Chain A
Amino acid sequence: MILTVLIWVALAIGLSFNTLGIVGILRFPDIYTRLHADTKCTTFGTIFTSLAVVLYALRVYVQTSDGQYISLIFHTLLAVVVLAFTNATSAHAIAQAAHRRGHKPMPSVTDRLEEIRP
């Protein structure tokens, strides 16, 4: 019973952050600020939706002691770790590529990278 509530809470938090990420893509003005909304909010949201999957699998495993649910738990945890690493790396790669290509942060109060790599 408590577990069911926890699963719903985790799903609600995860989906709200994912939704906010989408709203951010539509609202923010340039590629860098959009990357903030897109990559980060979805990471945090996905951590919580994955938590819901883990809790669900745990509950079914306790009821049925079927080994495939243990497998599901570990696969989900591994997916979160991989997501955390690839998300940071790809966000950096996109931002750097955009800056090298000449996309200036717009609006922006300062750009120190411009000074050394014009």
Chain B
Amino acid sequence: MVAFVVTFGFSYALYLVLTAGSGIAPWFWSSQELLLGAIVAVVVGLAARTFFSSSRPRAGLDPRRWVRAIAYVCGPFFLELARANLDVAYRIITGRIRPGIVRVPSGMSTDLGVLFLANSITLTPGTLTVGIDEDTHDLFIHMIYVPPGLEDREAIDAREIFAMFDCPRWIRRITE
């Protein structure tokens, strides 16, 4: 039941976002869109509830997680993205690269945490997740510039991938 409500709420919210502006001011949505959206969301909720929230559906309802996730994306993550983009732009212009694949233990206990971290790393320019060790949750990361000395070390802490913020700690607080 919880899984159905979560899936229903998510798909209805998405439908409303897509049809915002359909109503006549001051209303955001026309009544037809509201009704059709509810019907579609019920069908989607019944069909997809087992895929969308298979485990721990209650964790997804905790609003503090959502607030933290939005704060993370707008704050530390966006600044990292901007800094790393300037870095890659500099390397494109000068051609100063030192690429290599390093091993990074993720330190996450949940699948969602590993996914979150791997996506954050991949989306940050200059670092790209190439592979993952399914058993130990170690990530293999291709860096466009491996700082000298780093290539001799067996494993690198996930915090060293990000230059300014402790992103893994943010992700752990969001997903666990």
Residues of A within 8 A of B (CB): 17, 20, 23-24, 27-30, 32-33, 35-37, 40-41, 43-44, 65, 67-72, 74-75, 78, 84-85, 87-89, 91-92, 95-96, 99, 105, 107-114, 116-117
Contacts and interface: CB of A to CB of B under 8 A. Distances in A.
A85 B119 CA distance: 8
Interface of A, helix, strand, loop or mixed by DSSP: helix
A111 B100 contact: yes
A88 to B, nearest CB: 4
Interface of B: 14, 17-25, 28, 81-82, 84-85, 88-89, 92-93, 95, 97-103, 118-119, 122-126, 128-131, 133, 140, 142, 144, 146, 151-152
A30 B130 CA distance: 14
Given A24-B88, A74-B21, A36 B129 contact: no
A62 B103 CA distance: 51
B18 A113 contact: no
Contact of A110 (B19, B93, B100, B124): B100
Contact of A67 (B25, B95, B99, B125): B25
A67 B131 contact: no
A88 B92 CA distance: 20
Contacts of A105: 99-101, 142
A11 B152 CA distance: 42
Given A65-B25, A113-B130, A95 B142 contact: yes
